[in-house]
Amino acid sequence: MPFGCSSSKPSEAPAANCPPGSTAPCPKAKTPMDKTKFPDQRFDTDPSIKKAFPKLGDNYEVEAPATEDYNCIAHTLGDHGNWVNPETGPKANPLSEMDKKYEALGYKRATGMDTSLEPGTEKVVVYATKNPDGTIKDVTHGAIQRPDGTYSSKLGSMPQIRHENPEALSGPAYGEPVAVYTKK
C-alpha cells in the first residue's frame, strides 16, 4: 500500500474566540476542511483507504499532491525533500529512535497524550501498531499540529492531508497515537 510511512507555530485569535474575562491568548477556531483543493487527489471512495483509515471518512483536506519526495516523518521534521523512515527502538524503549529525531529539533516527548491546541506550543504525534499485550510493535507514522489545532499528515507516497485530530488516522495502517512531542 502506498500510504506506508517506512511548521507553523500556533497563532492567537481575536478576543471574540476567548472565554469571557480571559486574558490568555486564545487559539483560532478550527478552519473548515476545504474539500475542493486537489480534487483529483481525494480518495473518499477507495475501499482500501476506508479499510486502512476507518475513522477518516471524507473530513480531510488535501494540502499537497501525492509525491515520493518525502513521507510523514520527514513532513513532521520540516523536510520535504527526503524520505525519513519511522524507527522502532529496542523493546525496553521503542520510542528511543523517534526521541532522537525530534529532540534534535528541540521537541521533548510529553508524559501524556494531550493532543489539544496549546498556544505557543508545537506538537507532533507519533503512531504505532501494538502487540497483543499493548506494548509498541512498530512505529509507523507522524502527524504535526497546525495553528488551528487540526493535524497535517503525509500518507506515504500519497497526498499530504489535513485532518481533524490524530485519531482520524487510527486503524490498521498506522495503529494509534502513542506519543506526543512538544516544542515551545
- What are 155-171's pLDDT values in tens digits? 999 999 999 999 999 99
- Cβ neighbourhood burial of 39 (10 Å; 0-12, 13-18, 19+): exposed
Task: Report the C-alpha gap between 166 and 150 in whole angstroms.
Answer: 8
What are the pLDDT digits (tens) for 101-116?
Answer: 999 999 999 999 999 9
Closest among 135, 144, 146, 147 to 169, alpha carbons compared:
144
Given pLDDT bands bounded at 50, 70 and 90, which one contains residue 17? Answer: very low
Give the cell for residue 97.
529512535
Task: Report the C-alpha gap between 96 and 99 in whole angstroms.
Answer: 5
pLDDT at 21: 52
pLDDT at 29: 72
Q: What secondary structure letter does DSSP report for 112? A: S
pLDDT of residue 10 exceeding 50, the answer is no
Task: Report the C-alpha gap between 49 and 51 in whole angstroms.
Answer: 5
Which residue in this structure is represented by grid cell 527526503? 82
Given pLDDT bands bounded at 50, 70 and 90, which one contains residue 15? Answer: very low
Q: What secondary structure letter does DSSP report for 28? A: P
Given pLDDT bands bounded at 50, 70 and 90, which one contains residue 2? Answer: low
Secondary structure element (H or E) that encloses residue 62, with its range: strand 60-64
Instruction: Name the residue type at position 104.
Output: A
Residues 5 and 73: beta-carbon distance below 8 Å: yes
pTM (2 d.p.): 0.87
Task: Report the C-alpha gap between 157 and 174 in whole angstroms.
Answer: 14
